[in-house]
């Protein structure tokens, strides 16, 4: 672990090659799992505010669940998470050509239909945040569905911290990311992996 400001960063974020390849994994991280994606209270409130504009973007099953059960719930661990459909898809899951899973919130934001609403936990994935005393732990989740991303990252020479620059800056800021980038490059140089 490396300390960057008020965070403890897993070496896995620096050492691991990673670059999502949706053509291979089809967005499986939005489909598989035992609960929805973690949500911050303010994210949940913003989604609820825009729900009338979001509902038409959802699949029929997703729309039904959102209208009947809401777009979030408290999971078995007491965390606020996105609602899931039929024990599988995130409520915001839609599908594109070739069966690629697409986030309705992200798609609408990219098309200028809605402001950015994608939860930070989704944007950061495979990074998962936790607590370690007064510090935020920044860890990488390892999961078989991300093997294509690891192969893609290795082929392109892209490490996880580089691929995830945008969400890491969104969550921690430019100054934090600049310190991480400098530290990561020095760490890899010392290991002879530059």
- pLDDT tens profile 101-151: 888 998 888 888 899 889 999 899 899 999 899 999 999 988 888 899 999
Over residues 150-158, mean pLDDT: 95
Domain finish residue from 103, 123, 143: 123
Q: Which residue has the higher pLDDT, 24 or 179?
A: 179
pLDDT for the residue 33: 66
pTM: predicted TM-score of the whole model, two decimal places:
0.86
CB 127 within 8 A of CB 71: no
Instruction: Looking at the structure, tell me whether residues 185 and 134 fall in a common domain.
Output: yes
Instruction: Looking at the structure, tell me whether residues 3 and 79 fall in a common domain.
Output: no
Instruction: Looking at the structure, tell me whether residues 39 and 81 fall in a common domain.
Output: yes
pLDDT for the residue 77: 87
> What's the total number of domains in the chain?
2
CB 62 within 8 A of CB 103: no
- pLDDT tens profile 32-45: 766 788 999 999 99
Domain finish residue from 78, 107, 123: 123
Domain finish residue from 123, 148, 170: 123
HSE (side-chain half, CA atoms, 13 Å) at 122? 25
Q: Which residues contact 57 (CB under 8 A, 6 or more apart)?
A: 94, 104, 107, 108, 113
Instruction: Looking at the structure, tell me whether residues 174 and 139 fall in a common domain.
Output: yes
Instruction: Looking at the structure, tell me whether residues 100 and 11 fall in a common domain.
Output: no
φ/ψ of 132, rounded to 5, equals -140, 90
Tokens of 23: 């053509």
CB 53 within 8 A of CB 114: yes
Instruction: Looking at the structure, tell me whether residues 132 and 171 fall in a common domain.
Output: yes
For the chain, what is the mean pLDDT? 91
CB 181 within 8 A of CB 37: no
Q: For residue 45, what are the domain limits? A: 26-123
φ/ψ of 172, rounded to 5, equals -115, -15
């Amino acid at each position: 672990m490396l300390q960057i400001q008020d965070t403890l960063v897993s070496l896995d974020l620096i050492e691991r090659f990673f670059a999502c390849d949706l053509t291979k994994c089809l967005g499986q991280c939005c489909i598989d799992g035992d609960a929805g994606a973690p949500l911050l209270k303010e994210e949940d409130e913003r989604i609820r505010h825009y729900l009338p504009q979001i509902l038409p973007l959802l699949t029929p099953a997703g729309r039904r669940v959102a209208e009947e059960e809401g777009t979030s719930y408290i999971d078995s661990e007491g965390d606020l998470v996105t609602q899931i459909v039929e024990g599988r898809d995130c409520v915001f899951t839609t599908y594109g050509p070739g069966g690629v899973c697409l986030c309705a919130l992200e798609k609408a934001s990219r098309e200028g239909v809605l402001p950015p609403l994608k939860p930070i936990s989704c944007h950061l994935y495979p990074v998962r945040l936790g607590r370690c005393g007064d510090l935020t732990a920044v860890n990488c989740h390892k999961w078989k569905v991300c093997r294509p991303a690891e192969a893609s990252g290795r082929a392109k020479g892209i490490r996880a911290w580089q691929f995830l620059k945008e969400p890491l800056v969104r969550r921690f800021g430019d100054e934090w990311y600049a310190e991480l980038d400098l530290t990561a490059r020095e760490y890899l140089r010392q290991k002879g992996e530059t």
